[in-house]
Amino acid sequence: MYKRILIPVDFTDKNLAALDQVYQLAKWGHGSVTLLHVIEKVENIPAKELKQFYQTLEKNARTRMSQYAKTFAKHSVPVTEKIVYGKRAEEIVRCALDEDIELIVVSSHKVEAPRGWSTLSYQVAIFSPCPVLLVK
């Protein structure tokens, strides 16, 4: 079983099915979970001009992330919360490498090619150093 599982979250309803899968995998495999939220920066605008905007996004993300984490902690599944700034696919793969992640579980939805080739789940699956489970 996978001992170190990463789940990127964007706090949409589609995360719920993936969170449930991660909980089951971590519980059965006695694994740990890393919850990751990536805040993308607005390009071509100085960060200082958007400081309050980013602070609000991060505060909201911390609140939502802690709600997700409580479910894991309540059932004695070790959980780590990470909020980073950057491009989503790059930061997910970077976290997987840095944390020696064994499985990434990504929320996905049905897509039609060729549009589907540019989805976050596809990008993560292609560049990931470890197996990726897409949950729809």
Per residue in 106-130, pLDDT (tens digit) is 987 665 655 555 678 888 988 899 9
For the chain, the first-to-last Cα distance in angstroms comes to 21
Pairing state of beta strands 132-135 and 103-107? Answer: parallel
Q: Outline where DSSP puts E strands in the chain.
A: 4-8, 32-39, 79-85, 103-107, 132-135
- At 47 the pLDDT is 79
Domain count for the chain, please give it: 1
Which domain covers residue 85, as residue numbers? 4-135
CATH number for the domain harbouring residue 40 = 3.40.50.620
pTM of the model: 0.87
pLDDT by residue (tens digit) across 76-99? 999 999 999 999 999 999 999 999
- At 78 the pLDDT is 97
pLDDT at 22 over 80: yes
